Structure 1
Amino acid sequence: MWTSGRMSNAKSWLGLGMSLYFWGLMDLTTTVLSGTPTPPGKLEALLSDKPQTHSRTKRSWVWNQFFVLEEYTGTDPLYVGKLHSDMDRGDGSIKYILSGEGAGIVFTIDDTTGDIHAIQRLDREERAQYTLRAQALDRRTGRPMEPESEFIIKIQDINDNEPKFLDGPYVATVPEMSPVGTSVIQVTATDADDPTYGNSARVVYSILQGQPYFSVDSKTGVIRTALMNMDREAKEYYEVIIQAKDMGGQLGGLAGTTTVNITLSDVNDNPPRFPQKHYQMSVLESAPVSSTVGRVFAKDLDEGINAEMKYTIVDGDGADAFDINTDPNFQVGIITVKKPLSFESKKSYTLKVEGANPHLEMRFLNLGPFQDTTTVHISVEDVDEPPIFEPGFYFVEVPEDVAIGTTIQIISAKDPDVTNNSIRYSIDRSSDPGRFFYVDITTGALMTARPLDREEFSWHNITVLAMEMNNPSQVGSVSVTIKVLDVNDNAPEFPRFYEAFVCENAKAGQLIQTVSAVDLDDPHSGQHFYYSLAPEAANNPNFTIRDNQDNTARILTRRSGFRQQEQSVFYLPILIADSGQPVLSSTGTLTIQVCGCDDDGHVLSCSPEAYMLPVSLSRGALIAILACIFVLLGNTSWKKIRLLG
């Protein structure tokens, strides 16, 4: 155990373990209520200024609150203070006992002298105070000489912690061209020292790196812009170092730093500019519509939406032949073919192209117009093109009775190139498998090669080819539609076999049949048929014909008194004529049978043998006779079956 003799007075003067204590005997009075003394160890009560109204007792403990500086780094134990009892006569009969927080681990006591020492380094930021209890015992008997008393050892702060930026490093963004004093970000440093004691935790901010572009508020840590017109295109990234120093920034204070990475964000403060004022491009005359001719680019130092571009053709003689679109990924203008080109018609074009920012900021309009123009010269290059037909489609109408070898159309094609090569014509045979036509190889005269029949093929669609004589690979084609016109070359006729009957009891003028006709021809004015009896039957006494004027005709009786026994069948020749030029006709025959009918005109039989029975028999009698015949036939068949059995 350490003794007070090992601690020199110099340590106290240096502040290592400076403590307050009362030495020697000191009379302390305690107010006793109802004869009961105040519990020992309550120093505040013992030192109270209240008047003493009861008996005074003698207090044996002499002590006070202790203070000790943190972070002692010496090799010897740190002296804290002394406990002493007025019952201690210095003969070693009193034994001092220390208990409570840190007793025996952090603090020890000399049980003879009462000297308290710290045996570990103390850190206020880990623990600011310790509460301990002290007791004096009779060394011989172990009996308490004093009641146990509580006291506090407070750890006094020293400036041993530098300010720290717990959220660093920082990242911030501020728009370029921001006014001076624009707030960028606030940084905060914390100091673990006691803010209630001295200036150990009072932090002051300063900027170590980043001037003259930025400044920092010494009290709040707010970083602001400090330079006018900072340009992102000149310098985009800044590394600013901020220092936080305690002790109010005074000499000897501790400091900590952090890094703030500041990026200037883009604003639209740069107009686009074409690096080339003239572009030279070329395109084949055979280039299809929408194909790409070339690209132009207006450079913009800005980025993102501020660098977006819109290209337009604002002037030039090629505005109707070319178009321009903006590629949103690369912000280039793509010039494309707007309509078919022809080297023979126009060999070159000039375009005036404008590139402009669609997103503008009004405050930067004074920097100039946010668009630029360039001139594009486009040359059209010649290619060997196939022959071209004029016109590009033919429609021909031909009567079906046209003579073989008749020229029905002259097909014309020419070489569009400057060389104007000779042309040879032919027919694509897959379009004319029946070989109804042929074309003259040099003149392009389209002629008939076979008789045409509208009723067989009313339309022909053929393809005529034109080939350059000097370059057979260059072949053009044209479609020729041929409509075969109708001529009156088919006579009308009955659509089917007509067979009618006439009752024996028919009267004169009775309708027995209505007939119609068909004609394969198709005149423009429509079909109109005429009906009459053939010349050989013009004076037929039995039947006559009436034309209904609707392409049908009625056959009527001219007399009565038809008899099957006299004539059972009549053949009536009918002449059918059309209205064409020339008029065509045919003769059709109507077969008329004479039949026996009842009074209502219903046919009973058209066979002469059925009328060998007396004609006076009624319908009922005839039915009875027929029934008997069927019975007899049935019996005869049954007998035959039995004989066979």
Structure 2
Amino acid sequence: MGGSCVQRRPAGRLQVLFPFLLPLFYPTLCEPIRYSIPEELAKGSVVGNLAKDLGLSVLDVSARKLRVSTEKLLFNRNNTVNRENGNILVSDRIDRESLCPQSTLCVVPLEIVAENPLNVFHIMVRIEDINDNPPYFPQNSIVLQINELAILGTRFGLESAIDADVGPNSLQSYQLSYNEYFSLMVKDKIEGKNAPELILEKPLDREHQSSHFLVLTAVDGGDPVRSGTIQIRIEVTDANDNPPVFSQDVYKVSLPENLPLGTSVLKVTAIDQDEGINAEITYSFKTLRDIGNVFMLDHQNGEIKSKGPIDFEIRSSYTMSIEAKDGGGMATECKIIIEILDENDNAPEVIFTSVSNSITEDAEHGMVIALFKTHDKDLGENGEVTCLIKETVPFRIESSANNYYKLVTDGSLDREKTPSYNVTITATDRGKPPLSSSSSITLHIADVNDNAPVFEQAFYLVHIAENNPPGASIAQVSASDPDLGPNGRVSYSIVNSDLEPRALASYVSVSAQSGVVFAQRAFDHEQLRAFELTLQARDQGSPALSANVSLRVLVGDRNDNAPRVLYPALGPDGSALFDTVPRAAQPGYLVTKVVAVDADSGHNAWLSYHLLQASEPGLFSLGLRTGEVRTARALGDRDAARQRLLVAVRDGGQPPLSATATLLLVFADSLQEVLPDVSDRPAPSDPQAELQFYLVVTLALISVLFLLAVILAVALRLGRSSRPAAWTCFQPGLCYKTGPGVSPNYSRGTLPYSYNMHLKHKAQIETNHLRNCEETAGF
């Protein structure tokens, strides 16, 4: 706000100065608002409309939380400003005479503190006097002893009346009841007080009238006029025509405050030229009542001593009158002026008027945190105050105006490192020796979302065996966030994966609260061996911060797949097919090979071959790892032409799984030898078996024709080297063509290493089958 200060006068006796107040933080301030109100206003009376004079709306009064900061109880901090209309109200009875004794001008300073933003407005409330105190005399009556030889025109001083009011309402005049011997005269004294005096107008005659009674009336200038009276009794005595005379009319002395009790302050002296009892002088106070609480007077020698505490901050000067009265009743007065010198006996105070409720850790440099003022009751250098912060904190003090200071930020704040600061402000005056005092406040730093979540690990690797139960916990990720509240509350989610996005939810899920990763299904190592997830930890701040981490899941293999026999295959009717063996086969002759696969991996897929049953034990041998069936000895005369072998294939798992294969071997040198054996079989129970038999015969004939064509082609190519095609006969009369480069069409899965190791023997097996087929074709 800016602009000039304007003084406005309301109707009636109220005079108010309404300025446009500058903010507290502006370098200079204009004159304060001034209000004038009469004393004795009732509680709740309106002093003035602060909102109007500050140019604020009624809503601003409540929003900015205007309140009074004062040490006077007349204006309570909590209910002085009416937030509905902006009026300043009186909260207690106002007695100008109690607030400003013996002072013509009575001004009460107020400080209006506004928040949001912080401002201080200075208000001066002038308390106008009303005629609420009548003049009164300290004593109920005055007794004067006047010698009958008193000279006409002699003046006799009377005790002045006291009126606590000031200005026109104070004491204005005196009136004396009619008496032919005396008249009244009012003499102007120092400090503007009127001193009444009786003037002798007619000689006294004690024998004619020994006493006189008068009534002295003190009248003020109020409207209506108020007055006070005192009775004067005059006793006529014998001649005592010399009153006491002080050595000085006015005594002045300066005293330091805090004098020890009983210290001599001043001694007054009066002399009376009379003799005897008329020259015996006694001294007494003729002043306000509170003087007797601070000073005491020796009535015999006129010495004044300290009686009570002398405090410059309570009162800086005392003015009193001392009366000297002789034994004849004549009296005179002198004036005593005592000035109190200030000592540096009050340490400065630090008073916080407003403290910010919320200080965020991202507060900018120079942000106002608190507003405080200093107060020192001493004057001059004793009251000049400097403030400082002894701790090393990111705050500094900036001077404002009228002993007001701002506490502002002076560095970066980090709640995670220092959540609160205990700031002690020390105020020191310039007295000798200097005095100081400290006041501390605790400033709590509010959190902002300036820290992203941090995972405990940079990468997560999890091993899980297949066939896990659905819903099982397979891993847990954890991230921490040093922020508070929602800013530090972390939730977890899956943001990316190498799995199919549509199928991701059916594989895994993560708990948003705990970070536990759950398997939604049972994993199959043979279908999914590994997958990778990208998990995100996200806080609840605004804006939210997040961090990502990779989680790789390796699905371990279990021995859940039994070996599967690929060769020998079963015939169309479900029976095992035949392999032929030449009768002249020598020991070590490769008869056939059992081929099996296992969908598992590792040890679970390491296959071994075992001969469980044989028609002729010892006739054949079986390779443990290769599955090759070879002749162990030559065929004997007693050996049957047809042999049946039962082979078991086992994997390396724990426990191992196995499968069996039945080998039907026929020792024959020609197809004719095989066919009767086949014909000896029981006739099939259905027409389908007969059909299969004819198909086998047809295929055998076609194979023979094809073989002849191949031989012819080879002969025509003369010396061209070419590997003959391989033939495999699974049943007498039935051969199919294959080759070294043609692999069986296995189902999904990886062939075991035992099969891959012995592929080099495949050509020899096929050559034997080709020879058998040729012999059969020749038949």
Q: TM-score, normalised by structure 1?
A: 0.41
Q: TM-score, normalised by structure 2?
A: 0.34
Which has more radius of gyration?
1
Structure 1 or 2: more helix by fraction: 2
